[in-house]
Amino acid sequence: MKVGILAVQGDFEAHAEMLARMGVEHRYVFRPEELEGCDALILPGGESTTQLQFLQEEGLFDAITQLVQQGGAIFGTCAGAILLAREVRRPSQPSLGLLDIAVARNAYGRQIASEVKWGATKLKEEPLEMVFIRAPIIERVGPGVEVLAESEGHPVLVRCGRLLAAAFHPELAEDTTVHAEFLRMAASSDVPRDSHPHEGIPSGAFHHPAEPARRTISECIALLPEDSGARVDPDFANDVEAAIESHREPLIPPAANR
């Protein structure tokens, strides 16, 4: 199996490191032809408007849709989940529209308020570690979308067919559970290629720890890759500068210049 990673902006390097740890072949994707031979694609966190513009300008918008139509799997984290969503709110913006969910951008607050939480999941008995960095909130899921994890009453990990979306950053945790599920989806012949309905989620289906652990923003920062000259998006500049002043390192993973 070969997994492509959109590498124009955001924390694509962290996804690459996760896949390397798991022994999965991967490549960075900048152009449509680099999707050829890929069985799956990861849309990383970052700035969704920047990534959307790149997809449109480089012809990747149509190439990604074609990959899904051919049975490829797509995993969107944070900004990548926004790109997958059928409806984007506050503010509205275009998207790939492949996954029947509605998301509100930056709904968890300012970047300096980001944190690590532990939430209920269907993927394992133990609570799942979730790194939230200026994350979107999934406000609606369609009838064909299954909720795999939630936090504070909101879905944060959802699946439909070969599409997987997370409002958080599983690539910044030590746990490989979410990426393993994505790889299983991409490889399994039992997973439908198109969106399909699931039964409603029964009450109590999630495992809820009695006293969910929380970590501070300082501990969240410690999980992020060491900065090596990150390119900061203008919308994040003030928050990042404040974070550097307070913690002496930015809150976003490094982004490579193309």
Radius of gyration for the chain, computed over Cα atoms and rounded to the nearest angstrom: 17
Helix (H) or strand (E) segment spanning residue 82: helix 79-84
Q: Is 78 among the residues known to form the active site?
A: yes
Query: How distant is the alpha carbon of residue 56 from its chain centre?
Result: 20
Question: Using CA atoms, how far apart are residues 129 and 249, in angstroms rounded to an integer?
Answer: 22
Contact 31, 59 (CB under 8 A): yes
Whether the CB-CB separation of 68 and 98 falls below 8 Å is answered with yes
Amino acid at 177: T
Give the whole-angstrom CA distance, residue 27 versus residue 19: 10
Catalytic residue (one of 13, 115, 129, 171): 171
Nearest to 132 by CA among 79, 82, 169: 169
Catalytic residue among 169, 179, 181, 220: 169
Which among 13, 15, 26, 78 is annotated as catalytic?
Answer: 78
26 is catalytic: no
Active site residue 171: yes
Exposure b/e, 72-96, CB count within 10 A at least 16 = b: bbbbbbbbbbbbbbbbbbeeeeebb
Q: Which residues are catalytic?
A: 78, 169, 171
